[in-house]
Amino acid sequence: MTRLILIRHGYSVGNKERRFSGQADIPLDEIGILQAREITEYVVNNFDIDAVYSSDLSRAYETVRGIAEAFSLPVIKRKGLRELDVGVWQGRPVSEIAEEYPEEFNLFRTNVGRYRPVGGESYEEMMKRAMDEIYRVVAENKSKTVVIGTHGGVIRVIRAFIKGLSLDEIKTLSHVPNASVTILEERDGALSIAVEGYNGYLTQKTTEIQLG
């Protein structure tokens, strides 16, 4: 069995300011830094880690960097683990997007699996690249335990894929909390979800469920 420990990045400046972070390199805020320390302690006390991967965006990398250091491992950065490319929405406040792009924003709110920000990518495209990356990581780490630092949208589409949800059904699947653990298990090519969005180790559970 190969075990993949997916970790959504800690609370970020973008979360705090209610902006569409997308693929902008927005850092953790003070709460996110604390969450990263607490998730490191939780993982170190409960797992033996063989490899650490991360999105190349700093909010994901900084969330898992302490875990890598604790096990004397490098952090392997992969662009395929980035958050959704939100195009012209990137870095902008939710309130502005809702006013300037009312139809697109309404689709984002009501059927997220079918929306595509202007100049960005769709959830279907994100799902394909995320699953390609997951299977690549599995192939590189057979029968090992791997930490993967990534984003809310990525974890959402991975869960949707494993659950067999259609694009129209993704809206029924909420984001996991910031700095939470979702554990996948791979056996003979089949993926299953063993733990979903667990954050019981956090003293600061501040999160933002809508924006990556």
Residues annotated as catalytic (active site), given as ranges: 9, 83
Q: List strands edge to edge, sheet with 190-198.
A: 75-77, 51-54, 145-150, 2-8, 181-187, 190-198
- Which residue shows structure tokens 């969330």? 63
Q: Which two tokens stand for residue 25?
A: 């390199």
| Element at 5 (helix H, strand E) | strand 2-8
Max CA pair span of the chain: 49
Site of tokens 């992969």: 78
